[in-house]
Amino acid sequence: MSEPAEAPDTERPGVPGPESRPTARGTTPEPPVAPRRAHVRTCFGEEVPDDLFWMVEHDDAELRAVLDAENAYADAVLAPLADLRERIFAEIKARTQETDLSVPYRKGAWWYYSRTEEGRAYPIHCRRPDDGTCLHPDDAADAEQVLLDENVLAEGHGYLSLGVADVAPDGRRLAYSVDVAGDERHVLHVRDLDTGADLAEAIPDTSYGFAWAADSRTCFYVTVDDAERPWRIHRHVTGVDPPDGSGDALVHQEDDARFFASVGASRSGDLVAITLGSRVSTEVHLIDAHDPTAPARVVEPRRDDHEYSVAHSGDHLFVLSNDGAPDFALWRAPLASPGQASWQPVLPAADGVRYDAVEAFAGHLVVHVRRDAATGLHLHDIASGAGRDLDFDEEVRTVGASVNEEFDTTRYRFSYTSLTTPAQVWEEDVATGERALLKEQPVLGDFDRTRYESTRTWARAADGVDVPVSIVRRRDVPVDGTAPCLLYGYGAYEMSMDPWFSVARLSLLDRGVVFAVAHVRGGGELGRRWYEGGRLTSKPNSFSDLVAVAEHLVQGGWAAPDRLAVMGGSAGGLLVGAALNLAPERFRVALAEVPFVDALNTILDPSLPLTVTEWEEWGNPVDDEAVYRTMRSYAPYENIRPGARYPAILATAGLNDPRVGVHEPAKWVQRLREVVEPGPDRPVLLRTEMGAGHGGPSGRYDAWRHVALLWAFLLDQLGAA
């Protein structure tokens, strides 16, 4: 959390700031009121006035004044919680091993790892030579080479995020890109690892994708267009091409605004893959990494609603495709003729099984699967075709890939966590099944996982569908309808909110708060049908699912009826906002982080960042009246219920956010205060990070302070402080 903004000019017309007097619970200063400017939206014969529409102009000086006033108002209202906030921050800090080390992994002739140091906000990326053993880096401190110290990069900046950090195949260069504004436009640099000095490269407006060619001098990167869409793939030769990228070869330009472009290298090191993807369609092009100027070859031309991904091993590609298999099937294709006509089945589609991803190694595959809303891993031997599932004890869990840079290996590293188990890194011998725990996230203090219990339950939705719910609580918190509870949800883009451990969450659990995750439709927890059930004109199912889960928690005794909170971010903020309009009286407090709450106005404007790419998720309300009417019925900003008693609300925003414009939460809180039943015990607050974007503060200490602010507001409103 950044330092409180200075109070705005209280004489600015239409933007009064809060009174400069002490604030106590139950007495609040007057909230800021934004200027109103006449505007009417006309669509499909409907005229909708919106006198806050002007806020979409982010360069407007009056918008900055409103945001400053909102920050000052929020600071004043939250001032009495300063001690609680500091206690929670101290708890998070005390439970975290600040000086820590990641599990080293081998790539080429080196072991790579990152470490953190007490008092420093960002990680330090290092390596040491491979001497034939995997010694603890402390045992070979003299051999350590610091590749990149993010603390140094952050000097002089209030924000820092790495987009790319990729060592060349010969180990002599590091490509890295930085964003110091939060707008996700990175500058790409190249560092000479022999000298530690940066080369002249400084290529602006780059996105996240990157790949080195086999010569360790040629690289491929992605740039974004004016709408923040990754759309061009460029080829650059370090030390030869102009260092600002102005002379770089254009390898691909994606003119279909629905598609994002990305690039990456295969684990084998033999291929560079360009992936062009919309929400529901994919096209992959391959370049020989040993001949980087050769033209790219398409694997299978794009067609609507066909998604696929590829992994390379030897003379073949392994392809996950949803053609004729909504939850995907696995195929094998010769590299020489990779089109679908040559595909041969490896793992057919199976009822109740979703194939999420495939990783290829020299002799085996690792397939990421999902059954009954739980993640898993399946090992497949390429030569024999034999396979087995990895076994895990906990039902409410999350397993996934760890760092596996080596291609020719018989060992696989995976991550494991649950609502009660700190993040772990395991390594399994794929031939013998022998498994070793390499690291578990340290949790300091008196943490004992046996004090906590996780549960999977199912809530019955309004249309009879059962919605999975993951719950964690202290074992000594009774399930008798008296406990405070925080309900979390997302439900969009087929993303799954799989269970995860959180050190910061312990500050809630140890105060008796039950934490629940609603796996509503629109996510991917139960396969493609679950996503389709909360997408396009079926999107309202996501919101009614969340309300059904809230009712289920109360009826099941997990939550007190008057002590239930709800939380979501981005598209999860849309979920929260729409659920509040459906059942404002059900929730006592809401946390909405960078919430997508002015959804209809945004999706109606193709000039805004990312709008056209979003049409396959929400529908196109510009041309389709059914989509317009559906979005009109649920857009949170447009459906606030006048006079209803809404919960206390704390919304957050980022001034430089390229994904959810800062105007969306700013408009929402202004309209909420205007039309809902007022109450000093239920404030509506907006806190904007003036130097950050979608992800909030970047350094770990600022991030902890941000969480501490949210938790303090939540606990105070729930009477659990």
The Cα–Cα gap between 16 and 36 comes to: 13
The Cα–Cα gap between 683 and 74 comes to: 9
- 539-557 residue pLDDT tens: 999 999 999 999 999 999 9
CATH 3.40.50.1820 fits 452-718, yes or no: yes
Number of continuous H segments (helices) and E segments (strands) in the chain: 12, 38
Are the CB atoms for 95 and 449 separated by under 8 Å?
no
Mean pLDDT of the region 213-219: 98
Written as one letter, the residue type at 471 is: I
Q: 431: Cβ–Cβ under 8 A, 6 or more apart, which residues?
A: 410
519 is catalytic: no
The tokens for 415 are: 């991550």
- 230-271 residue pLDDT tens: 999 999 999 999 999 999 999 999 999 999 999 999 999 999
Split at pLDDT 50, 70, 90, the class of 131 is confident
Query: Is residue 695's pLDDT more than 80?
Result: yes
Q: How many angstroms separate the Cα of 581 from the Cα of each of 43, 422, 557, 597?
A: 23, 36, 24, 11
- Look over the chain and give the mean of its residue pLDDT values, rounded to a whole number: 94
DSSP letters of 613-638? Answer: HHHHHH--TTT-HHHHHHHHHH-GGG
388's enclosing H/E stretch is: strand 387-389
- The predicted pLDDT at position 4 comes to 28
Query: Is residue 137's pLDDT more than 70?
Result: no
- 647-689 residue pLDDT tens: 999 999 999 999 999 999 999 999 999 999 877 899 999 999 9
Query: Is residue 298's pLDDT more than 90?
Result: yes
75 is catalytic: no
233's enclosing H/E stretch is: strand 230-237
Mean pLDDT of the region 265-292: 98
- The predicted pLDDT at position 670 comes to 98
570 is catalytic: yes
Q: Which residues make beta-bridge pairs with 288?
A: 271
Query: Is residue 9's pLDDT more than 50?
Result: no
Query: Is residue 23's pLDDT more than 90?
Result: no
Identify the weakest region by mean pLDDT among 22-31, 51-60, 61-70, 510-519: 22-31
- The predicted pLDDT at position 29 comes to 81
- 334-357 residue pLDDT tens: 999 999 999 999 999 999 999 999
User: Which burial class, exposed, middle or buried, applies to 176 when counting CB atoms under 10 A from its CB (0-12, 13-18, 19+)?
Assistant: buried
CB atoms within 10 A of CB 400: 14
- Which residue, among 305, 308, 226, has the nearest Cα to 612 in the 3D structure? 226
Are the CB atoms for 424 and 441 separated by under 8 Å?
yes
Written as one letter, the residue type at 97 is: Q
The Cα–Cα gap between 329 and 60 comes to: 51
Mean pLDDT of the region 477-501: 98
- 88-99 residue pLDDT tens: 999 999 999 999
- The predicted pLDDT at position 5 comes to 29
| Higher-scoring residue by pLDDT: 9, 162 | 162
Which own/partner contact pairs does 348-353 have at CB distance under 8 Å and 24+ positions apart? 349/324, 349/325, 352/527, 353/327
- The predicted pLDDT at position 447 comes to 98
Which of the following is catalytic: 496, 694, 698, 702? 694
Query: Is residue 2's pLDDT more than 60?
Result: no
- The predicted pLDDT at position 610 comes to 87
The tokens for 135 are: 């010694």
Query: Is residue 628's pLDDT more than 80?
Result: yes
Give the domain ranges of the chain: 335-442, 452-718
- The predicted pLDDT at position 165 comes to 98
Query: Is residue 8's pLDDT more than 60?
Result: no
> What are the b/e assignments for 591-604, b being 16+ CB within 10 Å?
bbbbbbbbbbbbbb
First to last CA, the chain: 20
Q: 3-state class of 552 per DSSP? A: helix
- The predicted pLDDT at position 188 comes to 98
- 378-429 residue pLDDT tens: 999 999 999 999 999 998 999 999 999 999 999 999 999 999 999 999 999 9
Query: Is residue 117's pLDDT more than 90?
Result: yes
- The predicted pLDDT at position 679 comes to 77
The Cα–Cα gap between 317 and 333 comes to: 5
Split at pLDDT 50, 70, 90, the class of 13 is very low
CB atoms within 10 A of CB 320: 23
Split at pLDDT 50, 70, 90, the class of 535 is very high
Q: 3-state class of 504 per DSSP? A: coil
The Cα–Cα gap between 217 and 206 comes to: 18
Which of the following is catalytic: 161, 402, 570, 698? 570
- The predicted pLDDT at position 539 comes to 98
Are the CB atoms for 380 and 387 separated by under 8 Å?
yes
The tokens for 69 are: 């006033």
Which of the following is catalytic: 248, 657, 702, 716? 657
The Cα–Cα gap between 721 and 714 comes to: 9
